[in-house]
Amino acid sequence: MQNKLDSLFCIPLFVPERHKQRLSQKKNRLREFFFAVLRNKRFRMEIYMSRILYWECSSGISGDMAVASLLDAGADEKVLREVIAGIPAKGFEIEIGRVKKAGLDCCDFTVKLDKEHENHDHDMEYLHGHVHGEAHTHSADGHMHNHDGHIDGDGGHMHNHDAHNHGAGTHHHEHRNLRDVTDIINSTDMTPGAREIALKIFNIVAEAEAKAHGTDIEHVHFHEVGAIDSIVDIVAAAVCLDNLGIDRVCVTGLCEGYGTVRCQHGVLPIPVPAVAAILEKYNIALKPIEVEGEFVTPTGAAIVAAVRTTDRLPSKFTIKKTGIGAGKRTYERPSILRAMIIEEEQPGSADNKYSDVIYKLESNIDDCTGEVLGYVMERLFEAGARDVSYTPVYMKKNRPGWLLTVICSEKDIDRLESIIFFETTTIGIRRQKIERSVLERTITEVNTSLGNARVKICTNGEAIRYYPEYDSVSGIARETGRPFAEVYELVKSSAEGTAGDIN
């Protein structure tokens, strides 16, 4: 936040030297006013709220379910339709409507294909790989079953989605490679954020398919997820996610059934190989349920892998919006995906404190050199650690050693632990979640007789404290040849002297 705000007040390099001092003074006054506004409690509440998407995947997830849930949670339908209309492909149209699932009102998103591209759905017995020798009745809309759509007969509702070709020569089925799909996405008019998400999803699918078939991603030919309806699903999901302005995505796990399912490659076990590969690589928890059938599709798993930032819900949050997306399969468990837009609030209190949650990583090390530990500290700070320290300790068998302590945010845990395991000899890391109270603070820049310096300002009730930043003080001390302590006091006095303007 601070770095983003500071960038607003940069002095352009082309400004003549004679004008820089005047612009610097104006810049400082503007920044100081801006931060003073932010210290207002009403604005402060907005700062410490994070907008989170929580996908409750108790009935798995597929592409159409994801899109429907996001639309129901507030994504702009008009924006979505405009993007979909610009996809450089033919033979499809989308339908957005309402259906009932277990008595619940749900949003339904469908990609309907024309006769040339139509793929017909088979009955549930066929889906699960059982023998059948009779002709099958297909819905007029046609809905391919398997990897990226859920079939649902609620209210006589059957939809086409993420086509699968099962018949020999009777169904039209397009095979595309990653470059073909990338070209389609890059040729579609959408925001850079939406395009980035869509490309990431397809790359994840390509990696999974490559692993399943023992080839590389450039030679993978998409079957089900290469069909135009699957491409539309992924682009639609990316557009909706981008449109909602989500900060974080929480998925605690994916519920999946058991048995087998019939697809392009024959009868496959559930979860299908592509889904298993995605869950394995991206460390996504699978929650088995006692229901026969496929609940998690490759497209659904890839969407989660592409955008999930955490598998842990905040300890306290408020629900701002709820959306329910309908699937298209009929199982004992209703085929629905619930999307909740939640906010984790950490507003400033009357005494200018707010709540915060951090994590502490600890490890005892007795056989690393000082050079190694110094290097590890540098790497940990570069990787986002908030603080790193070493404490001398006596370990088992009276061995002198070091207690490595790292303070960090939840999102940085995996990266920091990887560094510790890679660079040190430790074989275990303790992890602890810690709540803390934090004084409100801002960083500003003040003018001194020796130059500009950055100062941290902390507010504790009516008291305001000023802490000159070390890098600024040390830089001025080196440039001027003055003692560090003298420069520190000068910067602090300058900050206190301009307190009226700053506050």
Query: Does residue 34 have a pLDDT over 90?
Result: no
pLDDT of residue 398: 85
pLDDT of residue 229: 78
| d(C-alpha 361, C-alpha 141), whole Å | 55
Q: What pLDDT digit, counting tens, does each position of 125-180 carry?
A: 545 544 444 333 333 333 333 444 443 334 333 333 343 333 333 444 556 777 88
Torsion of Cα atoms, 95 then 100 then 105 then 107, to 10°: -20
Domain boundaries, the chain: 2-38+439-502, 52-345, 353-428
- What is the pLDDT averaged over residues 52-73? 95
> How many other CB atoms are there within 10 angstroms of residue 381's CB atom?
13
% of the chain exceeding 70 in pLDDT: 73
pLDDT of residue 284: 93
pLDDT of residue 113: 78
Strand partners, 319: 342
| d(C-alpha 455, C-alpha 470), whole Å | 9
- What is the pLDDT averaged over residues 10-27? 48
The residues near 476 (Cβ < 8 Å, ≥ 6 apart) are 448, 450, 451, 453, 482, 487, 491
Q: pLDDT band at 46, cuts 50/70/90?
A: very low
| d(C-alpha 128, C-alpha 122), whole Å | 10
Q: pLDDT band at 357, cuts 50/70/90?
A: confident
The chain-wide mean pLDDT, for the chain, equals 78
- What is the pLDDT averaged over residues 110-126? 59
pLDDT of residue 268: 87
Residue 193 near residue 239, CB atoms below 8 Å: no
% of the chain exceeding 90 in pLDDT: 42
Q: What pLDDT digit, counting tens, does each position of 429-452 carry?
A: 999 999 888 887 788 888 888 988
394 vs 220, residue with greater confidence:
394
- Any alpha helices (H) in 214-340, and if so which ranges? 228-244, 273-281, 298-307
CATH number assigned to the domain covering 353-428: 3.30.70.1380
pLDDT of residue 158: 31
Torsion of Cα atoms, 328 then 330 then 332 then 334, to 10°: 30
Residue 415 near residue 462, CB atoms below 8 Å: no
